[in-house]
A and B are shown apart, each in its own frame.
Chain A
């Protein structure tokens, strides 16, 4: 069932368009990961989905009904959707009172409130902190309390802005498990933003990528800011993140007109990895050091440091043939259709 349907949504601040989405459909009961670099519009999209902000233009349908952006209608819709901030702030009361806040607003009686508070604190593993001042909690505990405060309201949709960005590894794992549990046990639709593609792959049923306010058809990894410039013999080169320069495959000579700054996406499945001794003559290759090798479904993920980190997804046969090892220097070659300029 369709939960959200966004059509021609734009959001502008001071004449600057920060979000421009032609169409986006979110289904009920799924987990969505929203990937994208800083400033891509992830938080703006979450604010719109949580009915905290009305878009500048476009229509949103929620459960098949077109959303009326009047004050009263938005307030009613907010009772079904809760947003957990990247850096959540706790009211200067106890842990218990923080969780009770939304329940009191919904006029739930005291006995029931206490039961929900106990149950929720148990779920997030903060039972022993019930009467502690919320401001006294650590970063990870605060993030879990913020989740508890949202979960106590049993929302249909839980929106989390980088839920694990500012917590330690232990709390990251706890929060990931929690999100999965909530989705499985309560059927809550979860939409979370992240920079971590691995986390997105592990948690989400579907991944959305935002680039400069627009939904991108690419995956998030191997997306770099770049400066294009002409090199010798009519070829083009590209400086990634202002750090490392790579040659562009031939097809991109068509982009000679577009010399300047922008973003580039390199498809990780369209990069070949060679051992140095297998280097072929007359091909433009990039040398790098292997820093990570891991299995990912039918593919092998290899991360190569070429000055910036570049991900290569190898099929198992190529991996058997090349056997990249951590610390080894190898060469990358981009296929002619590997590069997309954005």
Chain B
């Protein structure tokens, strides 16, 4: 019991003292996750909108594939990207392996289906009358689409928040493509795994506390956005 209390006490002290190593790890995590989320949102939101709004053939099949991709394990994505960016891979010459870019690519692949699928759900939930109303008030196709997008904004915002929550807490891709290099590709989750292996719990628990705080913050934001969308 004293070991547990001691670890937590030391971890709180580390967080309170703004330990430089801890801050560096948090910064890498946030940088990689933010870039991956913004990139995935840039691709996933328009893609999801087109799938939901447009009358495309094979729409149901696409949605089924997207939903399947949601369950893709991070190690599978890590392995998949590894085969492309390792020295013997197609993009080996770009020397991307064990860089933050490689982690961003992997995380991007992880959450694009999530952002797309949740955007499809958000846009599909927008009342059909918005489209009819915009048209009868004189809107053209683009203006009508923008109205539907605006009315689905809270659901889409929730999709992005959800995607960020997914990447900040993943470990498989970061470990396989980032390599857990100190000060460069070491993220909160990979650092926690390493510290656990070393049997040094103070930094692991401190990072766990930060991760939980970020997750909590994301969930509060998610609930606020969800609440607005259902109001």
Contacts and interface: CB of A to CB of B under 8 A. Distances in A.
Contacts of B130: 89, 91
B139 interface: yes
Given A91-B151, A92-B151, A105-B143, A78 B132 contact: no
B189 to A, nearest CB: 37
Interface string A69-93: 0010001001101110101110110
Given A85-B129, A85-B133, A91 B138 contact: no
A91 B140 contact: no
B1 to A, nearest CB: 53
A89 B133 contact: yes
Contacts of A92: 150-151
B138 A79 contact: yes
A91 B129 contact: no
A88 B133 contact: yes
Contacts of A88: 129, 133
Contact of A75 (B127, B133, B140, B151): B140
A149 B151 contact: no
A90 B135 CA distance: 13
B133 A52 contact: no
Interface in B117-165: 127, 129-130, 132-141, 143, 147, 150-151
A105 B133 contact: no
A102 interface: yes
A105 B138 contact: yes
Contacts, number: 49
B138 A78 contact: yes
Contact of A106 (B132, B135, B138, B147): B138
Nearest to A71: B141
Contact of B147 (A83, A91, A153): A91
Nearest to A133: B231
B150 A82 contact: no
Chain B's interface size range is: 10 to 19
Interface in B37-75: none
A183 to B, nearest CB: 19
Contacts of A50: 136
Contact of A105 (B127, B129, B137, B150): B137
Contact of B137 (A71, A87, A102, A135): A102
B129 A89 contact: yes
A118 B133 CA distance: 21
Interface in A47-80: 50, 52, 71, 75, 78-79
Interface in A8-48: none
A101 interface: yes
Contact of A52 (B132, B147, B231): B132
Nearest to B128: A89
Contacts of B127: 89
Nearest to A79: B138
Contact of A83 (B136, B140, B141, B151): B136
Interface in A127-159: 135, 149-150, 153
Contacts of A71: 141
With most chain A CB atoms within 10 A of its CB, the pick from B138, B140, B150 is B138
A85 B150 CA distance: 21
A99 to B, nearest CB: 10
A86 B92 CA distance: 62
A101 B137 contact: yes
B2 to A, nearest CB: 55
B150 A91 contact: yes
A111 to B, nearest CB: 20
Nearest to B127: A89
B137 to A, nearest CB: 4
27 contacts: A50-B136, A52-B136, A71-B141, A75-B138, A75-B140, A78-B135, A81-B136, A82-B136, A83-B136, A85-B129, A85-B132, A87-B129, A89-B130, A91-B150, A92-B150, A92-B151, A101-B134, A101-B137, A101-B139, A102-B137, A105-B137, A105-B138, A105-B139, A105-B140, A149-B137, A150-B137, A153-B138
Interface of B: 127, 129-130, 132-141, 143, 147, 150-151, 231
Q: Which 4 A-B pairs have the closest CB atoms?
A: A102-B137, A89-B129, A83-B136, A105-B138
